[in-house]
Structure 1
């Protein structure tokens, strides 16, 4: 692959990858969650922001390449909230979702869970998700704290109820052999988490994300009601595209 194909002509606020294909959308999403941006220094961040401002004003110094501009935009979008202009707390950035979320997933899948450990890991998982959602929310449209709290409590209550209920059901299922019971218990976290992705606790759009990634044409979103600007869910690619558009207007 040539350098021109790897780094096309820079377009402010747009994706570096072709959003009309699945492979392009996949590469875009992998770029968004790249954990290397967690280690960007303050001086590097400031230099990236300054470079983008110079590009917008038409005052770029000679010798700046498209690769440098794409990298600068990636760094700014990974660290700075497009509405508030403030740095997002590291554990709640999209680029931090894998390194900070993986320990929680491991905890959810630990064998021989007790009732207390099941409640704890489900609560921790939903708390982490809620913090990521809030930190990447659409701050251009004020939303009351009570609405986020209601969504958070609903998510935690639902996840814990499903996980605990299924655990009790499996333990009391007499027709399950010990080996089968142990195997089924390993998969209990999946329905507990998956059911929440399909409900509207506070504007979830996990289903919308799946559609947007797999569709042959990326836009418009086939489920706009689940992916509106009022949704705090940043993992949806449709919402990510709109965040890019708002960020461009603020550069």
Structure 2
């Protein structure tokens, strides 16, 4: 399944790469225009490229060295812009931009789809029991919490208690809503078995969407009181802004509501039609593999589309920020790391 996802992502990357010439390399800057949705889409398709999961330690070291040589003006002759962009892509996929540390493979954005698809398949399995519902919702929110932590804005230290609070809040909200809706559906005697089946399959979406909001809000609420760093056009820190933090959390939360929408809505609808096909009526063993492929396809499409709604390094007008920050710079616009 991972091989299929890698091939699909590579094909999408090739199509997008062919649509634009390679621009001059800029260290720390995105290769594609982040002011447009399509530019952000091309950027994030590279960020989530699953081939970066298999980059060796030697290759990562070479990429970091190449970028350092460019930074210090000691770049060997013959190195192309494309090689530099590729090196930056590898570093961005593996190294956290704030901490400078390697992100654990299952919790990288490039690993979100291959490691998350089995969980999605489990969440959408028909005829869920209370125990299985609790298990899959717990596993999903545990994975999401680890991804949130690994890709957070880390410009400010955050106590472990904050992340534990977000984790338990997300698990509690997801499990409570999912179990509650399942109980209500089971008691709805007026619904036909087919209708009940479709509704039960759609239950994971509101449960996961609400839990995602809770997860992001609780795990990052300290940013609202401490603020996050805002940078000028040269990358210099101007100060910590609570207003920028509010924007960052709202943008991330909105993304986490949009992300599961096609993942948990489309597969149940598609499978309700596919299961009526004679092939699947006579070969029930094919249901799980086809269900898994449908989930993989929708997940692969929804992830880059959702996280492309806002640029990771978002911008905000200085006039909207705190007066002390506005007085510290002549810039009209500043940037901040929204987080993923």
Band the TM-score falls in, shorter-chain normalisation: 0.7 to 0.9
Q: Aligned to 1:88, which of 87, 94, 103? A: 103
Partner of 2:198: 183
Q: CA deviation at 1:82?
A: 2.2
Partner of 2:115: 100
SS of 2:194's equivalent in the other structure is: helix
Partner of 1:241: 313
Partner of 1:225: 246
Select the structure with the greater relative contact order (CA < 8 A; seq sep ≥ 6): 1
Seen in structure 2, the aligned counterparts of structure 1 residues 226 and 169 have a Cα distance that, compared at 3 Å, is farther
SS of 1:227's equivalent in the other structure is: helix
Q: CA deviation at 1:224?
A: 5.5
Partner of 2:42: 27
> Is 156-165 or 231-240 further displaced after alignment?
231-240
Seen in structure 2, the aligned counterparts of structure 1 residues 113 and 4 have a Cα distance that, compared at 3 Å, is closer
Seen in structure 2, the aligned counterparts of structure 1 residues 27 and 2 have a Cα distance that, compared at 3 Å, is closer
Alignment of 1:58-77 (within 5 A): 58-77=73-92
| Structure with the higher strand share, 1 or 2 | 2
Q: CA deviation at 1:246?
A: 8.6
* 1:203–1:227 Cα contact (<8 Å) kept: no
| Larger-gyration structure (1/2) | 2
Please give the alpha-carbon distance, in whole angstroms, between the structure 2 residues aligned to 1:12 and 1:32: 16
> Is 48-57 or 29-38 further displaced after alignment?
29-38
Please give the alpha-carbon distance, in whole angstroms, between the structure 1 residues aligned to 2:115 and 2:17: 34
Please give the alpha-carbon distance, in whole angstroms, between the structure 2 residues aligned to 1:152 and 1:109: 22
Partner of 1:150: 165
Please give the alpha-carbon distance, in whole angstroms, between the structure 1 residues aligned to 2:134 and 2:18: 50
* 1:227–1:239 Cα contact (<8 Å) kept: no
* 2:244–2:336 Cα contact (<8 Å) kept: no
- RMSD value over aligned CA atoms? 2.9
For residues 193-215 of structure 1, what are the alpha-carbon distances to aligned partners after superposition, in whole Å with 9 as ceiling and x for unaligned? Answer: 112344433349xxxxxxxxxxx
**Unaligned stretches of 5+ residues in structure 2:** 1-15, 222-242, 257-305, 315-334
Task: Give yes or no for the alignment of 1:111 onto 2:183.
Answer: no
Please give the alpha-carbon distance, in whole angstroms, between the structure 1 residues aligned to 2:27 and 2:130: 50
* 2:25–2:85 Cα contact (<8 Å) kept: yes
